[in-house]
Amino acid sequence: MPPASASSPLPGAPDATPAPASFERLPLWKNAWRLFVAWLLGMGVYLVYIAPLVLPAETDELDVAVGPALALLLLDLVLGHVILGVAAYRRRAPVAIALITGALSGFSAFGAPAAFLAAASLATQRRPLPTIWIGVVHVLAGIAHEETIAPWTVPPQLRTSLTGQGWLLDSLVYVAFIVLIYGVAVLIGWNAGSRRELLDSWRRQAETAGSEQAARVAQAQLAERARIAREMHDVLAHRLSLVAVHAGVLAHRPDLSQQERTEAAEVVRAGAHQALEELREVLGVLRDDAREPEQARPVEAPQPGLSGIPALVAEVTSSGQEVRLRADEDLWPRSVSLPASTGRHAYRVVQEALTNARRHAPGRTVTVRIDGRVGDGLTIEVSNPTPPTAEGTLPSGGRGLTGMAERVELAGGRFSAGVEISDFVVRAWLPWSGSGKRTG
């Protein structure tokens, strides 16, 4: 049975195993059928004792006082039901209940099965010392019943020597019989306790596995949200910063001609349209279309890579900020062997660095240097002079450099950014083999 309430072992027999602080209540029907079985067994023992005294054919031949014998057997019956009632609460105080029922069984043969039930319940806790001491109590109670109650209730004709070798050997056989019955009850209880501990262990493992799975799901969701946020920032920040620059020109340059206003408005319109298109592409990449039929999935535009950096530089230059691209002529043919994910990371790093330069150093020349080859990795450096003041710069969310660093580190590369002399320099190194952790 599961652990019961805290209880103290017998004096002089301390138990090294601490008793649990609470007990698990047994369902009513499970407790009822156990008590009913104990009642049936007790009634069987009781009938063996009382049968010779109530059968008319044998009563006249017995040399025993029937009246006192029946009175003692009636007391046996009443006390046995008391033991049965006490055993019903064996889980509340297993040691105390086993001790009480074991001692009372010395005066009631009817209550002996209920006392063994309480002992089996104690054995489920797998506490050796209390189990042994309760066994000693059962043996002493059995001997006491045999020597004090049985002579009054069992006629001498039926109390013949079991072995024919005298009282001592008969007593040893009787004690061995009690120990055998008690041992069977303890083994049953011990096995039930082991099984329940195993089931509890499996249940706890299942609960732990469920909690870990929930934590992994939550972590995956958080990582996916971060990936979506990073992609949205990388894609939209560049386009919207261009829109903001030209919209600012329209708002603060009243001296522009009608043609210049029209051109600036067209840049704003085209930038907003491209931002929407790129947003749609990002959502298409991030969306899980695994459940859709292959033919039903929309054709997604290829994601930008290293070869798209010259067009990106030209676009930023056309918006009014000079950008110088420094790269080996052989880099672009070599980039054919560059993994697509590495090229995508490189493009996003340059894009975000140019966006930051346009925000914090508008009108200043930006230099982009790219170099790399198989075995050496891909090196990116974006530098621009630091402005003397931050006035007039576009607002910044403060996440650009953090996002770039996270992207590069997840790809297995290295990232640094800071002021060197009078320039703000962003450096990134990416493995050419693309062996880093995979992102978006």
- Beta-strand relationship, 323-327 and 366-373: parallel
Buried-exposed string 55-64: b where 16+ CB fall within 10 A, e elsewhere: eeeeeeebeb
Return the domain boundaries, the chain. Answer: 28-160, 306-388+396-440
| Calpha distance 186→116 (Å, rounded) | 8
Q: Which two tokens stand for residue 190?
A: 């011990």
Buried-exposed string 280-308: b where 16+ CB fall within 10 A, e elsewhere: ebbeeeeeeeeeeeeeeeeeeeebbbbeb
Over the stretch 249-307, which tens digit does the pLDDT of each residue have? 677 777 777 777 777 777 777 777 777 776 766 666 555 444 444 444 454 455 788 88
Please, which pLDDT band fits residue 226 given cuts at 50, 70 and 90?
A: confident
| Calpha distance 46→52 (Å, rounded) | 11
SS3 430: strand
| Calpha distance 280→121 (Å, rounded) | 68
Over the stretch 385-423, which tens digit does the pLDDT of each residue have? 887 654 444 444 456 788 788 888 888 899 999 888 888
What CATH architecture is 306-388+396-440?
2-Layer Sandwich (3.30)
The answer to whether the beta carbons of residues 370 and 410 sit under 8 Å apart is no
